[in-house]
Copies of this chain bind each other. A is one copy, B any other.
Amino acid sequence: MSGTEWAVEKEGETLAKKTLIIGGGIAGITAAQKIAQNGGAALLIEKEGHLGGNFAQLTYTFPVLADAKGIVAREIKTAQELGGIEILLQTTLESCSGEAGNFTVELRTPSGRRTEQVAAIVVAAGFHYMEPTAYTEYAYGRSAKVVTSLEFERMAAEGRLPQGQVRVVFVHCVGSRDKAKGYRYCSKICCSYSAKHAIMLKQANPEAKAYVFYIDIRALGKGYEEFIREAMEKYNVRYIRGRVAKVIESGDKLLVRAEDSLIGNPVEVEADLVVLASAMEPPQGSRDLAGILGIATDEYGFFREAEANVRPCHSSKEGVFLAGSCTQPMEIAAAVGMGGLAASEALILSR
């Protein structure tokens, strides 16, 4: 069948009703692509001035070290070139009324307010990296040599990783698995991205020494265990089981104090840089957005799935679907899957 015939067929079948997608990260972009590729119309709004979300902040993906920025750029381009997708940047949802199949939404755009009729809404608002300001014992905010994983990504992207015979300490679970100062849940991806960061450091600077303090090494699923093994065995990253108690500024160095929970002794590592793997938390303003949409959030502020296992993209309200890490910490592949599932649900309401 020729390309022309396809186009004609598709034109005849174009679905009249539109889907509003809130959030231009990989889950929202995937949902928009799948809707448009199936003859639907998507209105994708993003509160920032650019698409790509948290994915666009990465240098490499994991456990396969692929060019993250290149992949995101390719997916954005695909979405921009598909006929059925309108993209509005710096745009937020102001109000929402109506019901599944027939919502009225009011948007605040840079050029003023705009009202739209949509059949379905996909919430793909992503996640936020916790600012570990509560962890004063780690000297975050006091010392410029204590950074978050997100800041480490930026340093890598800008060629600012420390050079020469330096020691870098990576600290897992900052804000995760911590009822007292953070969140009770595990953020799922920190173990893997810390291993990625240690590998990136060693690739950029083979003279560097890398230490990772962990509670449990959580490398779930195919490729992750192997990835962390590679960090240990090929790149000689030293893994120490223990929670870091304190990071002390000492001249131009940092002292990292912890208890090694395998050998039961206190350990101290002198470091030139400390990288805190801060928790994935709900997107900022998630409870306000939930209020506008009339959907439920959980105890943390993530959007609540109607049924954790087999309705992972249904919100508590008919016609409003959830995709990606705005429901819980999630790998990229799972977020893409949820984007596709949400698209298939939204398309049903667009007929």
Residues of A within 8 A of B (CB): 1, 6, 9-10, 13, 26, 30, 34, 37-39, 61, 63-64, 66, 71, 75, 101, 177, 184-186, 188, 216-226, 229, 261-264, 298, 300, 302, 305, 307-313, 327-334, 336-345, 347-348, 351
What is the copy number of this chain in the assembly? 2
Contact in complex: B310, A332 (CB < 8 Å):
yes
Q: Which residues of B contact A345 (CB under 8 A)?
A: 34, 340
Knowing A38-B38, A310-B332, A313-B340 touch, does A351 contact B185 (C-beta < 8 A)? no
Q: Which residues of B contact A347 (CB under 8 A)?
A: 38, 344, 347
Contacting residue for A337 out of B177, B186, B337, B348, CB 8 A? B337
Expressed in whole angstroms, the minimum distance between the Cβ of A236 and any Cβ of chain B is: 19
Q: Which residues of B contact A1 (CB under 8 A)?
A: 101
Contacting residue for A64 out of B63, B218, B309, CB 8 A? B309
Knowing A308-B64, A309-B66, A336-B341 touch, does A222 contact B300 (C-beta < 8 A)? yes
Knowing A218-B218, A336-B309 touch, does A224 contact B262 (C-beta < 8 A)? no
Expressed in whole angstroms, the minimum distance between the Cβ of A76 and any Cβ of chain B is: 11
Contact in complex: B351, A344 (CB < 8 Å):
no
| 12 sampled A-B residue pairs with Cβ under 8 A | A10-B351, A38-B351, A39-B351, A75-B310, A184-B226, A185-B224, A216-B216, A220-B220, A309-B331, A312-B334, A312-B337, A340-B340
Q: Which residues of B contact A226 (CB under 8 A)?
A: 184-185
Expressed in whole angstroms, the minimum distance between the Cβ of A275 and any Cβ of chain B is: 20
Contact in complex: A329, B184 (CB < 8 Å):
no
Top 4 closest A-B pairs, CB basis?
A: A340-B341, A337-B337, A222-B328, A216-B216
A342→B337 CA distance, assembly (Å): 8
Contact in complex: B37, A220 (CB < 8 Å):
no
Contact in complex: A340, B351 (CB < 8 Å):
no
Q: Which residues of B contact A343 (CB under 8 A)?
A: 340, 344
A310→B305 CA distance, assembly (Å): 23
Q: Which residues of B contact A263 (CB under 8 A)?
A: 264
Contact in complex: B223, A308 (CB < 8 Å):
yes
Contact in complex: B186, A328 (CB < 8 Å):
no
Q: For residue A102, which residue of chain B has the nearest CB?
A: B1
Q: Which residues of B contact A39 (CB under 8 A)?
A: 351
A322→B302 CA distance, assembly (Å): 29
Contacting residue for A261 out of B9, B188, B262, B308, CB 8 A? B262
Q: Which residues of B contact A308 (CB under 8 A)?
A: 61, 63-64, 66, 223, 333
Q: For residue A63, which residue of chain B has the nearest CB?
A: B308
A185→B63 CA distance, assembly (Å): 12
A37→B350 CA distance, assembly (Å): 11
A351→B145 CA distance, assembly (Å): 56
A300→B10 CA distance, assembly (Å): 40
Q: Which residues of B contact A339 (CB under 8 A)?
A: 341
